[in-house]
Structure 1
Amino acid sequence: MGTHETNDSDDPSFQPVFENRVRFAETDQQGIVFYGEYFTFQDEAVSAYLRAVDYGYDRMVEDGWQIHVVNTELNYRTGAEFEDVVVNELRVSDVGSASLEYEYRAKRKRDDEILAEGTVTQVAVDLETEEPTRIPDEFRDAVASFQGGLETAE
């Protein structure tokens, strides 16, 4: 994963960070993925993204900081069904001093249709004080390198 997609704008590219096959247990009585499951997919995409940029939670802790989710949103476009393969894509769309926002989208692999899309906002906090702290340049550089750019609000 991590192949940069073609991008006609200056925005950083969405990156496919993991795929999952819809399990029967993730579907509702209507036979489609229960909406709440997409929040789990979204969370898994963030973890996969951090692994892909080689700056995961362990490295954050080693460097004295961690991230807290402060907001997450999803908009639903169409339903996935049992056995559909979902491609989960992510990009960091904005980085402030102590906050970052990811844009997420889930696409059905067989037809590339967007199933759900949304955002996750996190705040970086000092490991000891739990107070907001500046996101390190090493993290910013890793993100920019992986996704072909980075929008900053500083």
Structure 2
Amino acid sequence: MMESTWEFKVRFGETDMAGIVYYPNFYQWMDSSTHEMLRQTSYPTTILSSIKKGFPLVEAQCKFYHSLRFDDEVQVISKVKDVKNKVIVIEHRFIKKEDQQVVAEGQETRVWVSFAEGNLKAEAIPEDLRQVFMK
């Protein structure tokens, strides 16, 4: 299945008063990593709005093992776990680059939709995209 890696450095504004990354940021990072993955396909997020298609999130979860702090360098390894007719499941593993420690693991479930007429309508994932996800 398709896999991609996205790297970043924790910014000060992503931490709480104790200097630890505030947990909702992990969900934002999962979303960002998914968009980075889509850049590797013929359906990057930049063109989805013009074709009135998208992959809205329907479920997300994350388990936290260790904390991250300001300026930590992080690697997110995102892997397609499952591809169904209209649904894709992506797993995300957060690794602190300094010591290769897995600090969190999360998962997203997204549905391929059309929003051409203002309403979201689930549709089958295009076959060419499905094939890329399954490589």
Same structural fold, with TM-score higher than 0.5 when normalized by the shorter chain: yes
Partner of 1:91: 79
Indicate whether 1:117 and 2:105 are aligned: yes
| Distance change >3 Å, CA 37–CA 61, structure 1 → 2 | closer
- In structure 1, distance between residues paired with 2:40 and 2:68: 25
Match of 2:133 among 138, 143, 146: 143
Give the TM-score taking structure 1 as reference length. 0.78
| Partners of 1:55 and 1:142 within 8 A in 2 | no
Which AA in structure 1 matches 2:13?
A: A
Indicate whether 1:134 and 2:124 are aligned: yes
Deviation of residue 13 (structure 1)? 6.4
| Distance change >3 Å, CA 76–CA 121, structure 1 → 2 | same
SS of the aligned residue for 1:74 comes to strand
Indicate whether 1:15 and 2:12 are aligned: no
Query: Among the aligned pairs, what percent are the same residue?
Result: 26
- In structure 2, distance between residues paired with 1:61 and 1:27: 32
Deviation of residue 33 (structure 1)? 0.8
Match of 1:37 among 17, 25, 28: 25
| Partners of 1:65 and 1:133 within 8 A in 2 | no
Deviations 1:11-33 (A, max 9, x none): x36431x2111111111122211
| Distance change >3 Å, CA 13–CA 122, structure 1 → 2 | closer
Which AA in structure 2 matches 1:142?
A: V
Root-mean-square deviation (Å) = 1.8
- Structure with the higher strand share, 1 or 2: 2
| Distance change >3 Å, CA 58–CA 28, structure 1 → 2 | closer
Which AA in structure 2 matches 1:55?
A: Y
Deviations 1:104-150 (A, max 9, x none): 11110111111111111111112325221000111112223xxxx3x
Which AA in structure 2 matches 1:85?
A: E
Which AA in structure 1 matches 2:4?
A: Q
| Partners of 1:99 and 1:124 within 8 A in 2 | yes
Partner of 2:63: 75
Gaps of 5+ in 2: none
Deviations 1:44-64 (A, max 9, x none): 101111012342124444555
| Partners of 2:10 and 2:71 within 8 A in 1 | yes
Gaps of 5+ in 1: 1-11, 150-154
Deviation of residue 91 (structure 1)? 0.9
Which AA in structure 1 matches 2:113?
A: V
